[in-house]
Amino acid sequence: MSQKHFLLKGTFILTVVGILTRVMGFFYRIFLSRSFPAEEIGLYQLIFPVYTLAYAATSAGIETALARLVAASSAKKQSAKAYSYLKAALLCSLSICCLFLLQKNAVFLTTVILGDPRCASLIFLIAYALPFAALHSCSCGYFLGLKQIRLPALSQLFEQLVRIFFVILLY
């Protein structure tokens, strides 16, 4: 397959999956707003700046850098080197450290920074998502670098389905 066709096909697949997950997220938000009181939705939304900052600290740029390094290694037929980049990226993400930092400082973060100590348990729980988010980011970068678009697209779709399923299950 030529480079141009690969690029078009990959862009199409990722765009379709991105739109599909956005539509699923749209209905998911409607479900949340009808199922939970506004105050609880507000608390849920209040923790996201902290989570987003932690996610950026653990995963920002890793997917892109890893995709570039793996693509370069793959072009040189150095699959072992590409795999070692994946392992290094997982170690560099520091998501486990960030998980423990968030959990240890949840009360401080919610009381001083967010101004609502009721969010402490939510910060404590959402911190468990960081290692999985870093794993997702690294695996997507690895497979994008190998030009295997379907796996990152399917994982994005699977991630959204699992999120919705567990919230409905807990509800």
User: What residues have CB less than 8 Å from 152, skipping those under 6 apart?
Assistant: 14, 139, 140, 143, 144
In the chain (171 residues long), the average pLDDT of successive 10-residue segments reads: 74 88 90 86 88 87 90 88 88 85 92 91 90 88 89 88 86 78
Residue 1: what pLDDT? 57
The identity of residue 123, as a single letter, is I
Q: Please check whether residue 36 is in contact with residue 167, taking contact to mean a CB–CB distance below 8 angstroms.
A: no
* Residue 110: φ, ψ to 5°: -75, -35
Report H helices in 60-149: 62-75, 79-92, 95-104, 106-108, 120-126, 129-145
Q: Please check whether residue 135 is in contact with residue 145, taking contact to mean a CB–CB distance below 8 angstroms.
A: no
Going by C-alpha positions, the residue among 125, 123, 98, 126 that lies closest to residue 113 is 123
Specify whether the backbone of 37 is left (phi greater than 0), alpha (psi in -120 to 50) or beta.
beta
Length of the chain counted residue by residue: 171
Q: Please check whether residue 133 is in contact with residue 77, taking contact to mean a CB–CB distance below 8 angstroms.
A: no
Residue 19: what pLDDT? 93
Going by C-alpha positions, the residue among 34, 26, 50 that lies closest to residue 110 is 50
∠ CA 61-66-70 to the nearest 5 degrees?
A: 160
Residue 22: what pLDDT? 92
